[in-house]
Amino acid sequence: MKRSWRVSGDVLLRMLADAAIVNLSFAIALVSHYIWVVGITGTASDAPAAFRQYLNLFAQNSWLLTLTALIVFHLFGYYGYGRPYQGRYKAIVILQAVAVVYLVIGFLAYLMSYQVSIPRAVLLLSWAVTVALQLTSRLSSAIWKALASAERRYFGVHSLTDRSVRNVLVIGGAGYIGSALLPKLLEGGYYVRLLDLFLYGTEPIKPYEGHPRLEIVKADFRQVDKVVESMRGMDAVVHLGAIVGDPACTLDEELTIEVNLIATRTIAEVAKGYGISRFIFASTCSVYGASDELLDERSALNPISLYARSKIASERVLLNMASPRFAPIILRFGTIYGLSGRIRFDLVVNLLTAKAVVDNKITIFNGDQWRPFLHVDDAASGILKVLEAPTALVNGQIFNVGSDEQNYTLKQVGELIRQLVPTAEVIEMKTSEDRRNYRVSFAKMRRVLGFRPRWTLEAGVRQIIEAFNSGAIQDYREARYSNYKLLSEEWVPYHLQPQNGWAYALISETERGRLLEQHERE
């Protein structure tokens, strides 16, 4: 409720401009009428007295005109993002709205003729000037925006002054979701800066290297200087970078908190400081943990892993930073499946399909557990949808990303795969290791943004089977396909060692020096 009454700076400016336009029009109409009656027709003989009369007329009525105009313009949708005030209908809406303003003023003039005695010719002229000024101002701003966008498109210029989203910093953009998002952004005409440490290699984004609107920054996003540099000239940030998945996060809990939570806060602080208006954060439906209810964005959270807890904590930090100028948006994705530049075989649908095709076995643990599923391509489309939505609809919002139809039990997933790989055998087992069980409602994103995933689980499974049949994927057990396996390898901790390691080294060195000195003195 509170949020709907918040007037953004942009809306306030538009209201001020409209107030100025109606007052200017009224003044022009009064001056013209004054010149007509004093200078041309000579109906008013005492020019200074007539001038004072017109001045009084302006002083008495301008507030009423301003108030009426702003209320009527608001009712006609001038200050929202509704359909009535879009595109070619704009001119008609302006004509109607301004006519209503002057009809109301004319009516009031008739009712309170002792106080609001505005000549009809003044009202008519003021109406015409207001329409002309409003059309000119709206038209010139539309032309200006079109020119600025064409300039960026053809010259790759990324301006700091135009706040509409064209320049996007994608953090962790070389991963599973990032490599599906990148081509969509480039096709959409965006200028993309991609910041990633390439833990899983550069292969996922290879096809786009050298693209004129793609800039690649290889760096650890815990390095503040790199984050600051990467933020320059950007309009929006999509933060996908993290240690992803329950098993990978348990490898080094301190590191997980540093990468998933502390860095997220730092990145957001830098973005806010830079005046970047939109910050899209990849969270997960894992935050719902274990529950038998159908869960929506307001449901209680029940995290059962460090991974989920690190995401909830990040969500809180980001939502607390929301302001009219900084819009954090939380996307809680379902479990992803399907092909992108980097496929992962540590995710249930991809893994079970791979096992069915390669090993002729579909081993299911805790088959009654529910999960919502989402194709990686739809996850990328969801991000794009939020990037392009009016700020008022998304600022400070949490959206579950997926579709109600793709809530499945793991047993149902196994059955679906078996139908497509009939030679495979389904083996059911119980384990106490993964207790996650959640069925999620995706109504909010459908209702607010009209988002509906295009893929079905069946089409996604067929896509993976095809990738094996064509030889595009060979050994699904390779470490690069699994976050846990790869992060367990020895060379990775070298890249991901705690960023503040130098400080600890220096402190212990200082301590060693002090002890040595003390020892020598004794």
Ligand X SMILES: NC(=O)c1ccc[n+]([C@@H]2O[C@H](COP(=O)([O-])OP(=O)(O)OC[C@H]3O[C@@H](n4cnc5c(N)ncnc54)[C@H](O)[C@@H]3O)[C@@H](O)[C@H]2O)c1
- Interface contacts to ligand X, rule CB under 6 A: 172, 174-178, 196-200, 220-222, 240-242, 244, 259, 282, 284, 333, 335-336, 342, 344, 347, 483
- CB count within 10 Å of CB 274 equals 18
d(CA 358, CA 355): 5
Sheet arrangement for strand 407-409: 335-337, 370-375, 407-409
Contact predicate 4/81, CB 8 Å: no
Question: Considering all CA atoms of the chain, what is the largest pairwise distance in Å, rounded to the nearest integer?
Answer: 111
Return phi, psi of residue 189, to 5°: 85, 10
Instruction: Compute the least distance from the CB of residue 228 to ligand X, in Å.
Output: 15
Q: How far is the CB of 174 from ligand X (least distance, A)?
A: 4
Instruction: Tell me the residue number closest to ligand X, measured at CB.
Output: 175
Residue whose pair of structure tokens reads 């009423």 in the numeric block: 64
* Helical (H) or strand (E) element with 518: helix 501-521
Q: What is the nearest approach in angstroms of ligand X to the Cβ of residue 380?
A: 10
The CB-of-245 to ligand X minimum distance in angstroms stands at 7
Q: Distance between CA 508 and CA 252 in Å, rounded?
A: 22
* Shorter beta-carbon distance to ligand X: residue 108 or 313: 313
335/353 with CB nearer ligand X: 335
Give 116 or 417: the residue with its C-beta nearer to ligand X: 417
For residue 273, the minimal CB distance to ligand X (Å) is 20
Nearer to ligand X, 62 or 488 (CB): 488
CB atoms within 10 A of CB 88: 6
The residue among 200 and 438 lying less far from ligand X, judged by its C-beta, is 200
276 neighbors 326 (Cβ within 8 angstroms)? yes
Select 26 or 442, whichever has its Cβ closest to ligand X.
442
Structure token digits, residue 326: 């900084």
In the complex, minimum distance from the CB of residue 155 to ligand X, in angstroms, rounded to a whole number: 29
Q: Which of 266, 272, 201 is nearest to 227 (CA)?
A: 266
Provide the minimum distance between the beta carbon of 501 and ligand X in the complex, in angstroms, as a whole number.
Answer: 14
Sign of the C-alpha dihedral computed for residues 359, 361, 362 and 364 taken in this order: negative
**Taking the complex as a whole, how short is the minimal distance between the CB of residue 399 and ligand X, in angstroms?**
12
When the beta carbons of 336 and 394 are compared against ligand X, the nearer one is: 336
Compute how many other C-beta atoms are within 10 angstroms of the C-beta atom of residue 18: 23
- Name which of 259 and 357 has its Cβ closer to ligand X: 259
Rounded to whole angstroms, the Cα distance separating 267 from 274 reads 11
CA torsion sign for 79, 84, 86, 92 is negative
